[in-house]
């Protein structure tokens, strides 16, 4: 009987250790992917390659290819996203199935996070109109303007890496740019 109790204790301890390691492993993978995305996009050549490849998936157009852009960034950082993933609903669903979680706290954004905006009505409950990669705050401690990378270079002086008002909806070149709704991260 003592032997059985000892074996049960060992199995329980092994399961606890495995669960702890699994949680740590996920956090390490999340941090590694986020930092890998950031480092990758800090190289202008990589930005241009992702932009070109995203447009190719969108029949040569940069319009409405933000999901292709973000998905290409993930693929180029060894995180497979199906090439047919074409809209924010599909991308969110795919990421959630892979264990990613939404975080609505703007202040917790870190470089390399994948951000989603509000819907066409400016609310957080509908289908996000846009997704992009957060690269950092323009001014530390101020949570309005951020450096980002996305497919909307034509609206920002042909710069893939550019400044965007994240906190508030705003007009840029006569086009509405929706505000931050949430970001997604592996948990």
Query: What is the percentage of the chain residues whose pLDDT exceeds 70?
Result: 83
Residue 22: per-residue pLDDT? 46
Residue 121: per-residue pLDDT? 86
The pTM is what? 0.84
- Pick out the chain residues at pLDDT < 50: 13, 15, 17, 20-23, 25-26
Contacts 24+ apart (CB under 8 A), 64-71: 65/151, 66/130, 66/131, 66/132, 66/150, 66/151, 66/152, 67/91, 67/131, 68/151, 69/132, 69/149, 69/150, 69/151, 70/114, 70/131, 70/132, 70/133, 70/150
């Amino acid at each position: 009987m003592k032997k059985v109790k000892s074996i049960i204790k060992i199995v329980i301890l092994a399961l606890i250790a495995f669960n702890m390691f699994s949680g740590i492993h996920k956090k390490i993978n999340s941090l590694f992917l986020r930092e890998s995305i950031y480092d990758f996009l800090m190289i202008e050549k990589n930005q241009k390659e992702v932009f070109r490849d995203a447009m190719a998936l969108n029949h040569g157009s940069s319009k409405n290819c933000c999901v292709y852009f973000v998905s290409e960034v993930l693929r180029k950082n060894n995180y497979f996203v199906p090439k047919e993933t074409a809209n924010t609903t599909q991308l969110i669903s795919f990421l959630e199935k892979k264990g990613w979680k939404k975080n609505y706290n703007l202040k917790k954004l870190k470089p390399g996070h994948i951000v989603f905006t509000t819907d066409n009505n400016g609310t957080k409950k509908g289908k996000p109109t846009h997704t992009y990669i957060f690269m950092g705050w323009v001014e530390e401690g101020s949570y309005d303007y951020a450096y980002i990378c996305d497919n909307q270079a034509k609206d920002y002086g042909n710069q893939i890496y550019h400044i965007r008002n994240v906190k508030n909806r705003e007009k840029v070149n006569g086009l509405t740019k929706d505000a931050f709704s949430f970001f997604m991260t592996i948990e």
